[in-house]
Structure 1
Amino acid sequence: MSFVFTPSPHFVRAGDEASHTLDTDAETAIDVARLRKFYPELSDWGDWALHEAWGSFSQQVYMMHWQTVNEREENFLNFCCWEQTRGEFPWGNDISELAKAGAWRG
């Protein structure tokens, strides 16, 4: 059975998983569109869930408010898997630790 990513309850509340309501600036909206393009594994997620997951990834891994989305980063999926299967990724923890959360690769 293949791994299924779920955005709740780690990034959004239950019921908000597919919400496309996103009140943000144009640059961030472009980044969210890029997330949708780069991560087909998260195609069922709404814009709000993608925004919240990427924001958490940016803050907890890169220690910055928002990491610009330029290309696919496997560690983002590792991060989402970690949050879903292990709980909160420790803030500022070494990014190489995320490789331990590769269950999504099947």
Structure 2
Amino acid sequence: MERDPGLQPERTRLAWRRTTLSGTVAAVLAGRAALAGGGSVGGVVACAVCCFGWLGFLMVAHRRIRGLAGGGGGVPAVMAPRAAAGAVLCTVAMVVCGVVIVVEG
């Protein structure tokens, strides 16, 4: 008997897209704050790390969205622990760099 996933995979894909969009906004605002008024070396480095964290999260999210889209009505593949750890690491890096930029500014 084939599983009827309903709209759960679609909701999960949309959640990944919303999270990626909010990360994009946060990275752009962090870059703007770091570079406002000339920017210091620490602010520019924190901005660069924040952007790399955003790119890493974007790659993980895009891979997960594609994995959920190719489900074909069956059970979606479980997210690999390594990918989940990567998403968490990128998110924490973005948060830490954002805090450094705000405190330094």
TM-score normalised per structure 1? 0.27
Query: Counting helix residues as a fraction of each chain, which structure ranks higher?
Result: 2
User: Relative contact order (C-alpha < 8 Å, sep 6+): which is higher?
Assistant: 2
Larger radius of gyration: 2
